[in-house]
Amino acid sequence: MQCWSHKPCIREVAIAAMLKAVILIGGPQKGTRFRPLSFEVPKPLFPVAGVPMIQHHIEACAQVPGMQEILLIGFYQPDEPLTRFLEAAQQEFNLPVRYLQEFAPLGTGGGLYHFRDQILAGGPEAFFVLNADVCSDFPLSAMLAAHRHQPHPFLLLGTTANRTQSLNYGCIVENPQTHEVLHYVEKPSTFVSDIINCGIYLFSPEALKPLRDVFQRNQQNGQLEDSSGLWRGAGTIRLEQDVFAALAGQGQIYVHLNDGIWSQIKSAGSALYASRLYLGQYQLTHPERLAKHSPGGPRIRGNVYIHPTAKVAPSAVLGPNVSIGEGVTVGEGVRLRESIVLHGATLQEHTCVLHSIVGWGSMVGRWSRVEGTPNDPNPNDPRAHMDSESLFKDGKLLPAITILGCRVRIPAEVLILNSIVLPHKELSRSFTNQIIL
Amino acid sequence: MVQFHRHHGQEGSILVTRVEEPSKYGVVVCEADTGRIHRFVEKPQVFVSNKINAGMYILSPAVLRRIQLRPTSIEKEVFPVMAEEGQLYAMELQGFWMDIGQPKDFLTGMCLFLQSLRQKQPEQLCSGPGIVGNVLVDPSARIGQNCSIGPNVSLGPGVVVEDGVCIRRCTVLRDAHIRSHSWLESCIVGWRCRVGQWVRMENVTVLGEDVIVNDELYLNGPACCPTSPLATRCRSLGSSCERPAEPRVGQGTLAWASQARTRCVSGSWTGWKQLDTCFCGHKPGGVLVGTPSPPPQEGRAGC
């Protein structure tokens, strides 16, 4: 690569410290398990622990010394929420944050190859690649240190899972001494390894060469069909199957193990779980975001985020794991636990909201009860992660987090249990275990 | 009723009442004008009459001679004979009547009673801010602020209802304590019970004596009786490691289902299957109350 000059000079040292980050944010065809919440706002911007999902990524990247630019790659149309978010992020973190829109869904690797010139502009030493829908403590500096110790084209972040749950993720077999990835398989049907792929990578510029090989090979093969029989468009590259699985064991891919918090955010239930993980992290990283009990204020139990513009009555009891968004009104005697209340919602007096997400601008009437059922990983097992969640089993709706979509109105004194209410619905009675259209 | 009995001068008078579904009861066939009873039909398959035995009788001492010294059912053995002999007369009850053996009917009966109280002795009923409709409150009961009590509620002596509680169509017995922000509809809360904060109870939930319901629970129609052997198991299945003296409906407790209600809130709780087979003596599928969560290890040992 041209940027690695063989003549040592000051310029080389300055270039060596330059890093970039790429966040893969997907598009409307992806993240459909997040509906009806993703009808209002693109999933990467959904607030988790009070802040948009990818803001956690950007905050972590901005703290790595030498970070020059953050690129978002996806196939959402650049609409207002996204544009506003980009502007706000640039201002807050003093870093260029740009959105590169794919012309078609190109898979997890296609966008990287397509925009390679933008990524390599300025000659970065390495660039992070982060999936938007993960929740993590982002040990980026540790990954960078490992990379600098022994540069390789691909460095994956890995964590451990228990045997049964590892089948839901990308499994990595590593050499325990060298940390080389010997074998990689995505969602195997039998147990391969208890180390799983976190979806957070550090690539050096050399990584683009294998991507180019895959791209050219796909072009030559013409129409492609992968194992599930779906036709994939030209230019799509799946990082996991086409690159990692193919190159494992050839000295190119290495793994860095991490035992901090990690979770995928695929559904509303996992967003709530991720919220709890991040709120716990705030004790160390952002203690100012956690609400404290103050005289004349509501009673706080555990980790709670309250937006400064929210109005919460003093007799309310909040927590643990509660996030209250902008302009929310919480009435007298309300009990909130393990829930997210999105902006503009109103909870009237004496309501009880447990394990639920209350959508933007919704209203819950007096004495009503909105309750879901958590599907959290077993707290007794430190390596447990959320199970891959399906909505139905044998034709019956599985009990899960209750979701109220945007502008839903719940009357007084009713019970909404384990249900999903689509946006703009006005209910007139209690519902349990239903999807209310 | 005494007047009626003296007027016809025969041995027995029984009060009958008109019901909508007579085939659930013993039906009385009688003459419309005199009231003389022709016969009884027990749970008729086809419509015979819509008048049933209301369970109140006036009997002459002569009737005692008809009863032999052994266990006897007066309705099955004595009355049919008296009816054949033309000695039994029926008088139709004008007021309200209910068989209140079942909790559901008990509550309906309570509504009828309060309604009749409204007509005959309205000063006995309670009124004031937060009181809606027919509400009977013992003078020693205490109600908090911002509550909504009624319609059709009766609160017994020493009952304490904290702030922000909503109670509809319930009977709350002596010395029970309902904590703040809870919502109760169609329930019977037994003597000295303690219902926690933000509890929701509905659908003919019955709490026996001295039951504690933890905060933030949802009870949908269970009957929790503290003296049954079930309650002993309830105790060991309750939340956390304490051994409370009273039976406690905590997280994940199984309470006995009233009638055949099999509403089950299943969670990601592998222990649920074991619970089901333990209670095979009772109707299957008791009601799981509270929010299911991974149970403490001690809890399962209680099975």
Contact A399 B216 (CB under 8 A): no
Question: How many beta-carbon contacts under 8 Å exist across A and B?
Answer: 61
Contact A352 B198 (CB under 8 A): yes
Percentage of residues in chain B having pLDDT higher than 90: 32
Kindly report, residue by residue over A194-223, the tens digit of the pLDDT.
999 999 999 999 999 988 888 888 777 755
Asked if residue A258 and residue A313 are part of one domain, the reply reads no
Q: How far is CA B208 from the centre of its chain?
A: 11
| Sign, Cα dihedral of A308, A311, A316, A319 | negative
pLDDT grade, residue A225 (50/70/90)? low
Contact present, A104 and A233 (Cβ < 8 Å): yes
Put simply, whether B130 touches A (Cβ < 8 Å) is no
CATH of the domain at A321: 2.160.10.10
What's the pLDDT score for residue B256? Answer: 36
CA-CA-CA-CA dihedral for A119, A123, A124, A128, to nearest 10: 20
Nearest CA among A266, A263, A270 for reference residue A400: A270
A349 within some domain: yes
B278 has pLDDT over 70? no
Beta bridge partners of A186: A170
Q: How far is CA B61 from the centre of its chain?
A: 35
Burial of A126 (0-12, 13-18, 19+ CB in 10 A): buried
Asked if residue A337 and residue A216 are part of one domain, the reply reads no
Asked if residue A210 and residue A353 are part of one domain, the reply reads no
Interface subset of A 387-416, CB within 8 angstroms of B: 387, 399, 413, 415
Asked if residue A185 and residue A301 are part of one domain, the reply reads no
Domain that holds residue A75: 19-220+233-264
CA atoms within 13 A on the CB side of A108: 15
Asked if residue A297 and residue A257 are part of one domain, the reply reads no
Rounded Cα distance, A339 and A304, in Å: 10
Asked if residue A188 and residue A141 are part of one domain, the reply reads yes
Contact B265 A373 (CB under 8 A): yes
pLDDT grade, residue A227 (50/70/90)? low
CA triple A68-A74-A76, angle to 5 deg: 125
Put simply, whether B203 touches A (Cβ < 8 Å) is no
Task: Pick A399's closest partner by Cβ from B164, B197, B267.
Answer: B267
Identify all chain B residues contacting A354, using CB atoms and an 8 Å cutoff.
216, 291
B295 has pLDDT over 70? no
Six-digit token string for A315: 């007799």
Nearest CA among B169, B126, B125, B161 for reference residue B145: B161
What's the pLDDT score for residue B99? Answer: 81
CATH of the domain at A140: 3.90.550.10
Asked if residue A54 and residue A163 are part of one domain, the reply reads yes
Q: Which residues contact A267 (CB under 8 A, 6 or more apart)?
A: A33, A34, A389, A400
Beta bridge partners of B219: B201
Identify all chain B residues contacting A393, using CB atoms and an 8 Å cutoff.
none
Asked if residue A167 and residue A102 are part of one domain, the reply reads yes
A132 has pLDDT over 90? yes
Asked if residue A174 and residue A41 are part of one domain, the reply reads yes
Rounded Cα distance, B226 and B186, in Å: 20
Contact present, A430 and A410 (Cβ < 8 Å): no
Kindly report, residue by residue over B109-134, the tens digit of the pLDDT.
999 999 999 999 989 898 888 999 99
pLDDT grade, residue A356 (50/70/90)? very high
Identify all chain B residues contacting A379, using CB atoms and an 8 Å cutoff.
294
Rounded Cα distance, B122 and B299, in Å: 51
Average pLDDT over residues A388-393: 75
A400 within some domain: yes
A30 within some domain: yes
A323 within some domain: yes
**Exposure string (b/e) for A5-27, b if CB count within 10 Å is 16 or more?**
eeeeeeeeeebbebbbbbbbbbb
Kindly report, residue by residue over B27-82, the tens digit of the pLDDT.
888 888 888 888 887 778 888 888 888 888 999 998 888 888 898 888 888 888 88
Contact B200 A352 (CB under 8 A): yes
CA triple A102-A105-A109, angle to 5 deg: 85
**DSSP collapsed to 3 states, chain B:** CHHHHHHHCCCEEEEEEECCCHHHCEEEEECCCCCEEEEEEECCCCCCCCEEEEEEEEECHHHHHHCCCCCCCHHHHHHHHHHHCCCEEEEECCCCCCCCCCHHHHHHHHHHHHHHHHHHCHHHCCCCCCECCCEEECCCCEECCCCEECCCEEECCCCEECCCCEEECCEECCCCEECCCCEEECEEECCCCEECCCCEEECCEEECCCCEECCCCEEECEEECCCCHHHHHHHHHCCCCCCCCCCEECCCCEEEECCCCCCCCCCCCCCHHHHHHHCCCCCCCCEECCCCCCCCHHHHHCC
Which of A169-173, A292-296, B94-98 has maximum average pLDDT? A169-173
Contact present, A262 and A134 (Cβ < 8 Å): yes
A93 within some domain: yes
Asked if residue A148 and residue A88 are part of one domain, the reply reads yes
Kindly report, residue by residue over A44-66, the tens digit of the pLDDT.
999 999 999 999 999 999 999 99
Put simply, whether B296 touches A (Cβ < 8 Å) is no
| One-letter amino acid of A74 | G
Q: How far is CA B128 from the centre of its chain?
A: 28
Query: What angle in degrees, to the nearest 10, is found between the helix axes of A208-221 and A107-114?
Result: 110
Identify all chain A residues contacting B180, using CB atoms and an 8 Å cutoff.
333
pLDDT grade, residue A118 (50/70/90)? very high
Asked if residue A332 and residue A423 are part of one domain, the reply reads yes
Contact present, A44 and A70 (Cβ < 8 Å): no
For chain A, what is the radius of gyration of the CA atoms?
Answer: 23
A277 within some domain: no
Distance in Å from the first CA to the final CA of chain A: 56
Identify all chain A residues contacting B213, using CB atoms and an 8 Å cutoff.
none
Average pLDDT over residues A285-310: 92
What's the pLDDT score for residue A307? Answer: 95
Put simply, whether B198 touches A (Cβ < 8 Å) is yes
Kindly report, residue by residue over B18-27, the tens digit of the pLDDT.
888 888 887 8
Beta bridge partners of A420: A403, A435
Rounded Cα distance, B172 and B179, in Å: 13
The mean pLDDT of chain B is 74
What's the pLDDT score for residue B246? Answer: 40
What's the pLDDT score for residue A16? Answer: 52
Contact A352 B267 (CB under 8 A): no
CA triple A140-A145-A146, angle to 5 deg: 95
Six-digit token string for A167: 């089948």
Six-digit token string for A371: 């309750």
A10 within some domain: no
pLDDT grade, residue B258 (50/70/90)? very low
Nearest CA among A66, A67, A72 for reference residue A53: A72
**Across chain B, which distance is largest between two alpha carbons, in Å?**
72
Tell which wins on pLDDT, B8 or B268: B8
**CATH numbers and ranges of domains, chain B:** 1-92 (3.90.550.10), 103-220 (2.160.10.10)
A271 within some domain: no
Look at the block and give the residue holding tokens 């629970």: B217
What's the pLDDT score for residue A125? Answer: 93
Nearest CA in chain B to A335: B198
Asked if residue A78 and residue A196 are part of one domain, the reply reads yes
Put simply, whether A333 touches B (Cβ < 8 Å) is yes
What's the pLDDT score for residue A387? Answer: 75
For chain A, how many structural domains are there in total?
A: 2
CA-CA-CA-CA dihedral for A305, A306, A308, A312, to nearest 10: -160
Task: Pick A413's closest partner by Cβ from B166, B265, B267.
Answer: B166
